[in-house]
Amino acid sequence: MTNETGKEVAQLKRSRRLVLHTSLTACASALAGCGTFDGTTSTTTRNRDPDESAEPAETDEPDGPVDSPESSRRLWAQSLGISTGTPPVVVDGTVVYGTEAGTVFGFDAAEGQQVWTYEKGNRGAVTDIAVDDSTVYLGRRSGSLEAFALDDRAQRWQDSLGSNITGLTFDDSTLYAGTLGIVETDGESSVSGRCLAYDTDDGDQRWATDTAGAVLSQPVVSGDTVYIGTTEIVALETGTGATRWTGGRGSVVEGVAVGERTLYATDKNGIWALEKADGSTVWEVERSVNAGGNPALADGQLYTATGQSEIGAVDAETGEITWEGDIDAIPSTKVVLTDETAYVGSFDGVVALDRTDGAIEWRHTVPGRINTLGVDGGIVYVGDSDGTAVAIES
């Protein structure tokens, strides 16, 4: 392995958890060190016997107190038997989870009953899911990209990308996928990546663009440009995949978000803002941002979580810190926003904060570390490292 590859791999070790969007193959994990953001892995999994049913079991109330019962209550919990690695997505009253075992579950979002499962052609751990009103798109660690119908789970199309799929985004009739691969050349290893575009209806590949490093941030689309993070920020034309511009600070880009005129990015050293048109720097803030995932942007504020115990909001126009708060727990997910509240998962459970000043509204403990978190209609859906899917009403 070259020195440059070693440096990139070292950054990858700090960049994303195994169970986040960019979970890697065992081989890639060894090289890229994909674990928790402090360089360790702590995923609890259970290998299911091939003859064992995939149907989850309803759980009793998980161990651990609910810290603020007056502000939150557990609606339901389902044991999946293995950790979840994709943010829960709610569509038409159903919440969708993907698992490390490769099964996709659909639960009634309000009551928690299992509605369906998808296991057809299981090709490995699910690394990301995107859902529209009729179709579920999923990427796997093995490189399998699939689309299946929500109503009957019939597979609509499938393609094999050959590399771990690290993130999915769709816009109109196009699905964008980022990948991470390990390339062996003359006995030396290097990290590779691609961004690909597919027709959502038939799976026809529209274009594929190689990148300087692995795509670790979820692709983000704005107008006629798709933005991705590797060891630099890359702006690509949505129609052709041609590179508009590249820019960066020499470290792994962990997340990106787009505003009207400005692009925001995070790495291990902090946050910076760039002009969407050409990638020129607008401002920079030194702040440890290690919890992984795209930063959350709303109402002129940019919200991020650190690898220590802090959540913070930054003025998107100036880069000035609006507030910082210590949640007394290590964040393990990106920040997810509603109109008034910022939510983050941690090693101890879910924390809800007032968006205006960072005051903690409530905490809710679950058995394992929170791997993934989503919010819909006032309900917080999480998946933890013990393989439990939990719905919490705030």
Query: Rounded mean pLDDT of the chain?
Result: 83
Question: Above 60 in pLDDT, residue 137?
Answer: yes
The model's confidence at residue 53, banded by pLDDT at 50, 70 and 90, is very low
Phi first, then psi: give them for residue 23, nearest 5 degrees.
-60, 140
For position 42, what pLDDT does the model report? 29
Cβ within 8 Å of residue 336, ≥6 positions away: 296, 342, 343, 344, 373, 374, 375
The two tokens of residue 234 are 């890359």
pLDDT at 289: 63
Q: What is the pLDDT of residues 145-185, one digit of tens each?
A: 999 999 999 999 999 999 999 999 999 899 999 999 987 77
Between CA 283 and CA 326 the distance in angstroms is 24
Percentage of residues in the chain having pLDDT higher than 90: 64
* pLDDT value, residue 254: 87
- What average pLDDT does range 304-326 have in this prediction? 90
Nearest residue to 132 via CA among 103, 92, 99, 163: 92
What is the per-residue pLDDT across 248-272, written as a single tens digit (0 to 9) for each? 888 889 899 999 999 999 988 889 9
Check residue 120 and give its pLDDT. 78
DSSP reduced 3-state for 123: coil
What residue type is assigned to position 323 of the chain? W
pLDDT of residue 73: 93
pLDDT in tens, 208-250: 999 988 998 899 999 999 999 999 999 999 999 999 999 988 8
Tell which wins on pLDDT, 224 or 84: 224
- 290: confidence class by pLDDT, cuts 50, 70, 90: low
Supply the pLDDT for residue 25: 31
Edge-to-edge strand ranges of the sheet holding 155-160:
126-131, 135-140, 144-149, 155-160
Yes or no: say if 46 and 58 are a contact pair by the CB < 8 Å rule. Answer: no
The pLDDT value given to residue 301: 96
**Across 302-312, average pLDDT:** 87
37 pLDDT higher than 80: no
Q: What is the pLDDT of residues 329-350, one digit of tens each?
A: 999 999 999 999 999 999 999 9
Q: What is the pTM of this model?
A: 0.82
Mean pLDDT of 315-323: 95
Length of the chain (residues)? 394
Q: Which residue has the higher pLDDT, 313 or 21?
A: 313
List 233's β-bridge partners, or say none: 229, 247
pLDDT of residue 288: 67
pLDDT of residue 26: 31
Tens digits of residue pLDDT in 184-206: 778 888 888 999 999 999 999 99
